[in-house]
Amino acid sequence: MITSAVRTLVTELTGDDLPAYVYDLPALRAHARAVRDALPPGLELYYAAKANPAPPVLRTLAPHVTGYEVASGGEVEHVRAAVPGAPLAFGGPGKTEGELRRALTLGVERFHVESEQELRLLAGVAEDAGIDAVDVLLRVNVPLASDELGGAALAMGGRPSPFGLDPEAVQRCLPLLSGAGSRGPLRLRGIHAHLASGLDAPAQLTVAAAIADWARKLSERHGLDDLTEVNVGGGMGVDYAHPDRRFDWAAYGKGMADLALRHPGRTLRIEPGRALTVYCGWYVTEVLDIKHSGGEAFAVLRGGTHHIRTPATKQHDQPFQVLPMDTTATWTRPWARPAVREEPVTLVGQLCTPKDVLARRVQVPELRAGDRVAFAMAGAYAWNISHHDFLMHPRPGFHYLDT
């Protein structure tokens, strides 16, 4: 599970160097290349930067992606600086006028518009700036039959939602868009949808087909010849309980190639985040203490959910591997080393809250104070979604391995 480069670094770090985030950039590169190779050549792959916006991660992905999906003014600035020249698609709810102005100044290539008011704001800002062509995709809550989303973990559309536009609202937006009557600066280039996350390949293909069909009908009904782009979103499934069961990119690529054949003249685009970067990162730390309470074993780790909030938000056990530390330097105390053997143990952090749990009642052959624990699947929605300042513990180290 853990790559040898990560293991070597981790055993060289001292206790005070921990916790640490370790990213295996060659592993990320290989994964991104495999994903890209599985997709049909005409399909555009954008990376949703909010999953992990660390500059070395963004730069490692650059040769394998078409562009980046950004979801705030902060991400626009950050990604532009980290990977200059890469196309950006600016999505997300609640864009302010200031953010839109700055995004236009920075030449953001695509705007994913989430509401009628946002469309009006964008038109006004573009007019004020004297910009006469802004490429817009309308984010639509494309209706799906109730069984189409299957077991989606987090449904974003197909039901009442703060994101995107309902189909009726799309009708009201059309007069504001050129190609549909307006002579204003906004050009309707396509439809964007991000309806769910956690879908497997067959479910993703069903959703993609529904979005593409909906876009075709809209364009046919209104004679929208410039509506050539269909962004079907991200949300490719990631299975934390089975790190080896990865999203079936080969089947997905094949299905998307078929879908492209059914929609000649349209560019299909996807924007995964988690499924691209989750596997390349590890959160590594050491066991500070082992104790029993009410007959259950607890391992208290240096660090916790203020560094990796993922298991708390997703209510799962973060997968981990124990790296036993046997050198005498690890245990120099004149008392017995606290340990558990062949027993379920709950791994907790240093926070004074019962929510600071990284994995619950997981059976381990042995775990001792001073051993190291490497949490896998920490490359997405991990450090950057965590509440770092709670309790004022030191920040982890960051290591981007690239050899």
Ligand X SMILES: *Cc1c(COP(=O)(O)O)cnc(C)c1O
196 near 154, Cβ under 8 Å?
yes
26 near 60, Cβ under 8 Å?
no
Angle between helices 249-262 and 25-38 (to 10 degrees): 40
Q: Does 378 sit near ligand X (CB under 6 A)?
A: no
For ligand X, give the closer residue by CB, 53 or 338: 53
The tokens for 265 are: 């003249």
CB of 82 to ligand X, least distance (A): 18
Contacting residue, 158, 184, 190, 233, with ligand X by CB under 6 A = 233
Q: Does 195 sit near ligand X (CB under 6 A)?
A: no
Contacting residue, 141, 197, 285, 386, with ligand X by CB under 6 A = 197
For ligand X, give the closer residue by CB, 91 or 303: 91
Task: Write the Ramachandran bin of 293: left for phi over 0, alpha for psi from -120 to 50, otherwise beta.
Answer: beta
Contacting residue, 9, 24, 45, 69, with ligand X by CB under 6 A = 69
Q: Does 304 sit near ligand X (CB under 6 A)?
A: no
For ligand X, give the closer residue by CB, 207 or 322: 207
For ligand X, give the closer residue by CB, 180 or 196: 196
Interaction mask 169-188, ligand X, x per CB under 6 A:
--------------------
Q: Does 194 sit near ligand X (CB under 6 A)?
A: yes
The tokens for 294 are: 């009410």
Q: How many residues belong to the site for ligand X (CB under 6 A)?
A: 17
| H-helix or E-strand spanning residue 33 | helix 25-38
231 near 190, Cβ under 8 Å?
yes
Q: Does 50 sit near ligand X (CB under 6 A)?
A: yes
Q: Does 48 sit near ligand X (CB under 6 A)?
A: yes
Q: Does 53 sit near ligand X (CB under 6 A)?
A: no
Distance CA 210, CA 197 (A): 16
CB of 361 to ligand X, least distance (A): 28
Contacting residue, 236, 256, 268, 351, with ligand X by CB under 6 A = 236
What's CA 312's distance to the chain center, in Å? 16
Q: What angle (nearest 5°) sits at the alpha carbon of residue 72, between those of residues 58 and 131?
A: 100
Distance CA 393, CA 403 (A): 31
47 near 65, Cβ under 8 Å?
yes
Contacting residue, 53, 73, 273, 370, with ligand X by CB under 6 A = 273
Contacting residue, 19, 67, 73, 91, with ligand X by CB under 6 A = 91
SS3 for 400?
strand
Catalytic: which of 133, 154, 352, 392? Answer: 352
For ligand X, give the closer residue by CB, 61 or 290: 61
8-state DSSP, 180: T
8-state DSSP, 245: -
Distance CA 267, CA 89 (A): 15
CB of 50 to ligand X, least distance (A): 6
Q: Is 173 a catalytic site residue?
A: no
How many helices (H) and strands (E) would you count in the chain?
A: 11, 18
CB of 328 to ligand X, least distance (A): 44
* Span near ligand X by CB under 6 A; candidates 98-106, 143-151, 232-240, 250-258: 232-240
Going by C-alpha positions, the residue among 162, 234, 243 that lies closest to residue 198 is: 234
Binding site for ligand X (CB under 6 A): 48, 50-51, 69, 71, 91, 194, 197, 233-236, 271-275
Catalytic residues: 352
